[in-house]
Structure 1
Amino acid sequence: MTFSTELAALMCSRLCHDMLSPVGALSNGLELLADEKDPEMRARCIELLEQSAKISTNKLKFFRLAFGAAGGFGGAVPVEEAQSVIDALVSDAKGVTQNWAISESSLPKPAVKVMLNLAHIALDALIRGGTLDIGAELQGGNVEIVVRASGDRLAFDDNIGRAIQGELAPGELSSRTAAAHMIATLAEEMGGGLQYKKTDTSLVMGAVLPQPEGMIG
């Protein structure tokens, strides 16, 4: 198996893992609804089905923008589109407050993919809630991105940090680190880089990415 094929397989494994819970809940809810006769319990089943469908839809919208190649990797993405998919994931989380600091109306597609994946990593770290801060700006021909997760008992695999900084060998990759490796590779191909710093109560990740030539005004 070539490295690119292995990375694709690991990414698919990650997507399947993330979708298994909400899709499984949909299946279970439909089975319960088929057998349930009590009106109150049926209403509860429908509520759970609606919630699982919403979570599934939110995840798919995120995956499409963060991992997909719709429209290629050139051009720009409206910032509000990127914000909407993250806002939806945050709304499905518990106890997470989100802050945005982006004055630009659009960002290059590669930068958006990096920002979304860093935000997803940060959100996953907030297992007990906390604050998610996301900022980006165009500065001196570069796109600078900062994502910070602040909270108690952050859950962060050091191998994800190594993947962010391009320090994992191909044989060390897993479904948990594949996305981080993907954006590290993307940043390197653009001539930029990623970095992170973690303490007991905060995880800060950053990226500096050169703007594509056609987008430098």
Structure 2
Amino acid sequence: MTMTAINLASLLCSRLCHDLLSPVSAMNNGIELLADEQDPEMRARCVDLLSESAKVSANKLKFFRLAFGQAGGFSESVDTEEIREAIAGLFGFDHRIQLGWMMNDPVMEKGAVRVLLNLSLIASDSLIRGGMLDIGAEGREIVIRAEGRRLVFDEQIEAALLGKIPPEKLTPRLAAAWLIHALIEERGGQLQVARPDPNVLLFGINLT
């Protein structure tokens, strides 16, 4: 069985819905509380909750628009500052993850953007107690480094990144990893995954 575009789109949509469920539910809860609450101080807190949840939702949508969709219309490249803002916004407002940005090129080709963003998503997910996410790119080479007090990197995700998971075994949790594998394979590129330390995860990508 091969992975069709429809199958992959379905899995990616499931991942998107999963990530948006929490902030959207928080907005719904905030609206219900606001409707019933009479105390001015509590109403102000409800408004703050609604504002923060709306920003989180907007940030996630901006990120996934670039990572999964066709952001930028018919243009073949994306401004790297827009990429940085999308990744930074994904982390929310608690600053658990600090972003190190080493990107000199003003724009990046769309295919490379999808690889970078989806790998950033996987790397940030591994930092379950926060930490540092360093991202650098030059030409066709991309390097992503995650470091934190506790780093968990699922071997199933690594297998999907390397194309070692049969398509029929894929789940929404593995969809981003499979997308990365497909994009790199399509371009004849290479992906390297390394764990030089239990608290460090490295991705190296060469897009030929």
Normalising by structure 2, we get a TM-score of 0.93
Unaligned runs of 5+ in 2: none
Paired residue for 1:42?
43
1:69 Cα deviation after fit: 2.2
CA contact (8 A) 1:165 1:193 kept: no
Secondary structure in structure 2 of the residue aligned to 1:194: strand
Query: How do 1:38-117 and structure 2 match up within 5 A?
Result: 38-70=39-71, 75-117=76-118
Q: CA RMSD in A?
A: 1.7
Could you tell which deviates more after superposition, 164-173 or 108-117? 164-173
Q: What is the one-letter code of the residue matched to 2:19?
A: D
- State the Cα deviation string for residues 118-138 of structure 1 (Å, max 9, x = none): 111111111111110000001
In the alignment, structure 1 residue 161 sits paired with structure 2 residue 162 = no
Deviation readout 1:36-90 (Å, 9 max, x if unpaired): 0000000000001000000000000001001002457872111111111011123
- Secondary structure of the equivalent of 1:62? helix
Is residue 77–residue 109 contact of structure 1 (8 Å, CA) maintained in 2?
yes
1:76–1:108 contact (8 Å) kept in structure 2: yes
8 Å Cα contact 2:2-2:167 kept in structure 1: no
Q: Residues 33, 72 of structure 1: CA spacing in aligned structure 2 closer, same or farther, 3 A cutoff?
A: closer
2:93 maps to a residue whose letter is: D
Q: 1:91 to 1:25 in 2, by over 3 A?
A: closer
- 1:3 alignment partner AA: M
Which has the larger displacement, 162-171 or 26-35?
162-171
Same amino acid, percent of matched pairs: 54
Q: Deviations over 1:9-32 (max 9, x none)?
A: 111111110000000000011000
Would you say 1:209 and 2:193 are equivalent positions? no
Give the stretch that moved more between structures: 27-36 or 121-130.
121-130
CA contact (8 A) 1:74 1:108 kept: no
Aligned partners of 1:187, 1:38: CA distance in 2, in Å?
55
Number of positions where the alignment pairs a residue of Structure 1 with one of Structure 2: 206
CA distance in 2: counterparts of 1:177 and 1:24, whole angstroms? 24
User: In structure 2, do the counterparts of structure 1 residues 93 and 144 end up closer, same or farther at CA, with 3 Å as the change threshold?
Assistant: farther
Residues 142 and 204 in structure 2, CA contact (< 8 A), matched pair in contact too: yes
The list of structure 1 runs, each at least 4 consecutive aligned residues, that deviate by more than 6 angstroms after superposition, is: none
What is the TM-score of this pair, normalised by structure 1?
A: 0.89
Aligned to 1:197: 194
- In 2, the alpha carbon distance for the partners of 1:61 and 1:115 equals 15
Structure 1 unaligned residues grouped into runs of 5+: 211-217
